[in-house]
Amino acid sequence: MVSIEIDAFTRVEGNGGAEVIIENGEVKDVKVKIFEGPRFFELLTLGRYYWDVPDLEARICAICYLSHSVASVLGIERAFGVKVSKEIELLRELGLLGELLESNALHLYLLVAPDLFGYPDAIRMASKHGEIVKEGLAIKAFGNYIREIIGGREIHGINIKPGGFGRYPTVEELERMERQSEALLRLARRGVGIFAGQETLGAKPVHYVVVNGYLYGDKLIASDKDTFDYFERIEEEALSYSFAKQSRYKGEIFMVGALPRVLLKSEMLTPTAKHLYEEYKEKLAQGYVSLNNLAQAIELVYALERTKEITRELLDKGINGENVPIEPQEGEGIGYVEAPRGVLIHHYKINEDGNIAYSNIITPTAFNHAIMELSLYEEAKRRYGTSDESAFLQKLEETVRAFDPCISCSVHVVRL
Amino acid sequence: MMLKLGVFELTDCGGCALNLLFLYERLFDLLEFYEIKEFHMASSFKEHDTLDVALVTGTVSTQRDLNLLHYARNHSKYLIALGTCATHGDVQASVEGKIREKLEKVYGTKANPMRALDSTPIVQHVAVDYALPGCPYDKDEIYQILMNLAKGVEPPTKDYPVCIECKLNEYECVLIKRGIPCLGPITLGGCNAVCIKSKVGCIGCRGPLPKEANPASEFEILKELGYDEEYIRRKFKTFARGELRW
Ligand code: SF4
Ligand code: SF4
């Protein structure tokens, strides 16, 4: 038995690698190893006052901090039975759209595009294909602008609060968002063409799981049409070779993320995004996990169009800027968000003083851990022996990268 | 001559490495002076070489982190501890309890095959040439530091609290006027008081103000506002473990 090691995935967030085990000249197994150290977020929040918790949870991940803040706030509000206004709901959605733009653009243009064009990174790719890199950066910067206004900062803002916001956006800021989303749409449409050309890699998941709203909601839905709470159908298992656990839906491997979202929620897409979805429908339906990248590109179009719709609606109605007052009381609540990489869950029990008594956080990369491993296995089987080792490893890295794994996020899975 | 730069990420949220990419065009300005030899979040390119500048983010939370940190130190002339994880330990270092107990709570076993450690800031393990806190740090600051180093100038350090920037921006004091627990008076400035702009209190993400801070008086103010001691203690501890004494 021999094994081939990928000691560190590059162009992914966080630290992880893989081991490909070869027996009698055949790929026997692949292990995805997450060796980013544990950060114990659930323990961190235990006993802390609910008001401070979303700001701490934001620190789980920088690329999708705002999804964590929103999921945390939703879990807390549901525990207290708080209902917020339409305006607050729209502003949260706007923040999540900004995050989708920032994260999907970062992934596609800076991390995946170099594979498509044969470079080790976007910086070196920029010398020949500067336009594409610049277009991606423009979309990403716009996403960050939204995160800054709604979330309070580009990274780890503390403006998203239970019951509302610290500060509400001004008319000028909303107008700027509306203008820019319109202007960037052309670039995003071009991006769909670029990423549609990627070769298909990895496995085909048996199931997809998504949140019931496009970006957030109150239940999960699966490709077999089931609607449920996560603990009713999803099981987690700890592994000896990884700090991240693996999950199963009804005992089977599933996937979360952009591909599941566009496949299961195509009805909710905005007009141009839907049109593009229809155009690539058959391709997407092939189900290979690398099609996640094409789905992400379609989502950039969705996010820009939806940003325009929301800012217009808010500008027409005018910003009220009123928070919902909160009285802490004993309760339990779950926040479900579609982080850019897929389903994100924050589940809390809170005592009557408003302190956290139980917390469970499950992140998209933890959900995708099993399908990531299976994809590497299938890709390795398909390719082993057909090319030299460095080309072989390069394809395996590309397969992992297609998931847009967020390793920092994945290591906080806990059941207390 | 181009300077050789390496970015090393230990256990963290990825924010301090990502923040470099958020420099946008200014990153390309930096690349006029620097050649990136290692930056695993952004590049598959990697060259084992002696570096002029190593940026290290995150806390030491595994044996692997520790090895990587020593590698970075031994291969660089100038090492910058980047972000509050690296300088003070940040949120993960404030989680109480011993590693084995924590692993048991989370993974259901005391076994530690991947050699996790209690999280500690890198400054506790190696000598650093410059420490830039912030969760994340301010982008302008790292830009200035790297530009200074490229020109052979020792970068200046900041030594004033967040309150100064709050006053300069003429924000209303949330601590005195609204009774919100704000750590601005005892936290190192440099963020342009961005949280107070959002009318929420500073949670201390840039770590304690060196030397002059008076945490004892902040403690008293918060107690008078009605916050209980345990609450204040944990708030003080969040980003800087036990560094704030009161
Ligand atoms: S200091 Fe904050 S932003 Fe930087 S890596 Fe640590 S948690 Fe992330
Ligand atoms: S105001 Fe405080 S919490 Fe906010 S960024 Fe500045 S130092 Fe960090």
Q: How far is it, in rounded angstroms, from Cα B19 to Cα B205?
A: 15
Q: Which chain A residues contact residue B72 at CB under 8 A?
A: none
pLDDT in tens, A389-401: 888 888 888 888 8
- Atom index in ligand 2 nearest the CA of residue B135 equals 8
pLDDT of residue A397: 85
pLDDT of residue A241: 65
B193 ligand 2 Cβ < 6 A:
yes
B40/A10 CB distance under 8 A = yes
pLDDT of residue B25: 85
pLDDT in tens, A250-259: 989 999 999 9
b (16+ CB within 10 A) / e for A340-372:
bbbbbbbbbbbeeebbbbebbbbbbbbbbbbbb
Sign of the four-CA dihedral A155, A156, A161, A166: negative
Which position has the higher pLDDT, A174 or A242? A174
**What distance in Å separates residue B116's CA from the closest CA in chain A?**
6
**What distance in Å separates residue B244's CA from the closest CA in chain A?**
18
Which range (A5-19, A165-179, B162-176) has the least confidence? A5-19
Q: Which residues, in sequence order, are CB contacts of A374 under 8 Å at separation 6+?
A: A203, A253
Q: How far is it, in rounded angstroms, from Cα A403 to Cα A415?
A: 25
Confidence of residue A414 (pLDDT cuts 50, 70, 90): very low
What percent of chain A lies above the pLDDT cut of 90? 67
Q: Where are the alpha helices (DSSP H) in B13-83?
A: 15-21, 25-30, 63-74
Closest residue to B105, CB basis, from A43, A141, A156:
A43
Strand order in the sheet with A331-339: A216-217, A331-339, A342-350, A356-362
Q: How far is it, in rounded angstroms, from Cα A154 to Cα A63?
A: 9
Contact between A127 and A118 under an 8 Å Cβ cutoff? The reply is no
pLDDT of residue B243: 73
For the residues A151-178, what does the mean pLDDT come to?
Answer: 98
Strand order in the sheet with B34-39: B34-39, B3-9, B51-57, B76-82, B130-132
B206 ligand 2 Cβ < 6 A:
yes
B117/A166 CB distance under 8 A = no
The DSSP symbol for B38 reads E
Confidence of residue A14 (pLDDT cuts 50, 70, 90): low
Q: How far is it, in rounded angstroms, from Cα A195 to Cα A90?
A: 30
Which position has the higher pLDDT, A129 or A302? A302
Nearest ligand to residue B82 Cα: 1
The residue ranges of DSSP E strands in A286-355, in sequence order, are 331-339, 342-350
Confidence of residue A411 (pLDDT cuts 50, 70, 90): very low
Is the pLDDT confidence value at A344 over 70? yes
DSSP-assigned beta bridge partners for residue A355: A49
For the residues B171-189, what does the mean pLDDT come to?
Answer: 94
Which range (A125-134, A173-182, A324-333, B6-15) has the least confidence? A125-134
Q: Per this entry, what is the length of chain B?
A: 246
pLDDT in tens, A201-236: 999 999 999 999 999 999 999 999 999 999 999 988
pLDDT in tens, B94-125: 988 888 888 888 777 777 767 889 999 999 99
pLDDT of residue B220: 94
**What distance in Å separates residue A135's CA from the closest CA in chain B?**
12
Contact between A332 and A348 under an 8 Å Cβ cutoff? The reply is yes
For the residues A245-249, what does the mean pLDDT come to?
Answer: 84
In B66-125, the residues whose Cβ lies within 8 Å of chain A are 90-92, 94-97, 102-103, 105-109, 111, 113-114, 116-117, 119
Is the pLDDT confidence value at A15 over 90? no
Q: Looking at chain A, which residue has its C-alpha nearest residue B42?
A: A11
pLDDT of residue A64: 93
The DSSP symbol for B212 reads T
DSSP-assigned beta bridge partners for residue A339: A342
Q: How far is it, in rounded angstroms, from Cα B137 to Cα B145?
A: 12
Interface predicted TM-score (ipTM) = 0.94
pLDDT in tens, A83-116: 999 999 999 999 999 999 999 999 999 889 988 9
DSSP B186-204: GBB--STTHHHHTTS----
Is the pLDDT confidence value at A407 over 70? no
Cis peptide before A114 (omega within 30 of 0): no
pLDDT of residue A41: 86
Q: How far is it, in rounded angstroms, from Cα B4 to Cα B2?
A: 6
Q: What is the average pLDDT score of chain A?
A: 90
pLDDT in tens, B119-154: 999 999 999 999 999 999 999 999 999 999 999 998
Q: Smallest Cα–Cα separation from A217: which of A207, A227, A226?
A: A227
Helix orientation angle between A65-80 and A86-105, rounded to the nearest 10 degrees: 150
Contact between B64 and B112 under an 8 Å Cβ cutoff? The reply is no
pLDDT of residue A316: 98
Q: How far is it, in rounded angstroms, from Cα B9 to Cα B22?
A: 16
